[in-house]
Structure 1
Amino acid sequence: MLIEGQSVLVTGGGSGLGAATARHFAGEGAKVAILDFDLGRAQAVAGEIGGVAVQADVGDAAAVGAALDEASRQLGSAPRIVVNCAGIGLAARIVGREGKLSFDVFEKTLRVNLFGTFNVMSHAARRMMELEALENGERGVIVNTASVAFEDGQLGQAAYAASKGGIAAMCLPAAREFARYGIRVMAIAPGLFRTPMMEGLPEEVSAKIAADIPFPPRLGEPDEFALLAAHIATNPYLNGTTYRLDGAVRLPPR
């Protein structure tokens, strides 16, 4: 699918991987809508790229539906390309100090990361089904964001790894379900990237983390995530799988 002229929705587009993705697609000539829980950040990036901003908690199915309606109205059509980057990275042991349990962390992480991705994918796919097919039969492409933690989850990452594992696991069945409509579904599992969460770490901690990445021995750049998302959108034979984007890193136990 050619990116130029297409309507694109990026969730979590107010910062990090999502902001880089929104900028990249806009640079390729797409009309971009940014959906973010923080409307101010979404508006800042949208203003920079000539896009539109909508607010929603991705864990709220009704709010997602309303946000997609508004984004489609402002873009002039339902998005043909959706990149789901919204997510949180809470950490907690399953059983912590003094026997404290962490179900609250588990529930919140899955609600945002996994349920949120499912909500956006569901609402977006339903709207894509109603679009006219392009010359090659495509109607849309959905790119979800997993994490290398779905395979290499570290101590304290049970909730995060489970949420990202669910995103990876639903990629193939979703692609199979939507294939008859010409809608592709892919997932990217990024490794250690230079996002606001990582940038908040002390410099010596970041340096140690980067030293464990085989090549290139550095944190990933958000633009590199955006490049892969754009390639997935333009390559019509990519469907139903999860790509690791990680510099060959494998996360240690802690």
Structure 2
Amino acid sequence: MPCDVANSLAAEEALATARDAHGAARVLVHCVGRGHSEPTVGVNGPMPLEDFRQLVEVNLISTFNMMRLAAADMARLQPRSNGERGVILSTASVAAYDGQSGEAAYAASKGGVVSMILPAARELGPLGIRVVGIAPGLFGTPTLFAMEKDLDSRLAHQIPFPHRFGDPSEFAMLVLHVLKNVMINGTVLRLDGGHHR
């Protein structure tokens, strides 16, 4: 269902619709994100502040918004035999650690997601809710292709191993592993083939 996840009311309505159809969720995988590559100051002057604001809205505020709403739902669930009520996975980016020229705004928005994971895990842990971040590197997704205008094999060859872009199915495999392993909590897992730009 379409939803502006940065909008509190729209997100609440979407969660209510999903809850009515399927019951309360024990898992939130928040993969919403917007890529943007633009220098802070370019040949046409400074980056428009509205571009920065939109990145923060989509990448950071929507992550917190969905986290808080999903956690409130999960906190009301009966715990499983291990005490767990739910898992929240938020998508960050390796740009939060290794942002490149033209990525100051994008890196800041994803860096906020990284910074939120540990304190959120500490806050929600007593409720039986785990919080984990995944920071993908170069993955063959529309977001990457929108950010990189001249994408070619030389970028993939910079990845130590394997020499290719990540596949979304590999992201999904990590999500499944995190869901099964209750000891993974309060951390951000890099998924980048060892590529530190």
TM-score class, shorter-chain normalisation, is over 0.9
Q: CA RMSD in A?
A: 1.4
Unaligned runs of 5+ in 2: none
Partner of 2:78: 132
Distance (Å, rounded) in 2 between the aligned partners of 1:211 and 1:245: 16
Report what 2:88 is aligned to.
Answer: 142
Q: Relative to structure 1, is the Cα distance of residues 216 and 101 closer, same or farther in structure 2, using a 3 angstrom cutoff?
A: closer
Does 2:192 correspond to 1:250? Answer: no
Determine helix, strand or coil for the equivalent of 2:133.
strand
Q: CA deviation at 1:101?
A: 3.4
Which residue number corresponds to residue 217 of structure 1? 163
Cα deviation for residue 100 of structure 1 reads 3.0
- For 1:233, the equivalent position in structure 2 comes to 179
Q: Deviations over 1:156-194 (max 9, x none)?
A: 111110111010111000000001110000000000001
Question: Is 1:94 the equivalent of 2:16?
Answer: no
Which residue type is aligned with residue 21 of structure 2?
Q
Structure 1's unaligned 5+ residue stretches are 1-53
TM-score by length of 1: 0.74
**1:165 and 2:111 aligned:** yes
Answer whether contact 1:96 1:102 (CA < 8 A) is retained: no
Looking at structure 2, the residues matched to 132 and 190 of structure 1 have their Cα atoms a distance apart, in angstroms, of: 32
The DSSP-based 3-state class of the residue aligned with 1:115 is helix
- Do the aligned partners of 2:40 and 2:102 also contact (CA within 8 Å) in 1? yes
Instruction: Report if the CA contact (8 A) 1:92-1:105 is conserved.
Output: no
- Matched residue of 2:134: which SS? strand
- How many equivalent pairs are there? 196
Q: Percent same amino acid at aligned positions? A: 47
Structure 1 match to 2:14: 67
Structure 1: how far apart are the matches of 2:161 and 2:136? 14
Give the Cα–Cα distance (whole angstroms) in 2 for the partners of residues 96 and 78 of structure 1. 47
Contact 2:35 2:144 in 1 (8 A): no
Cα contact 1:192–1:219 (8 A) shared by 2: yes
**Equivalent position of 1:112 in the other structure:** 58
CA separation in 1, counterparts of 2:72 and 2:16? 12
The alignment's TM-score, normalised by the length of structure 2, stands at: 0.95
Q: Distance in 2 between matches of 1:98 and 1:146?
A: 29
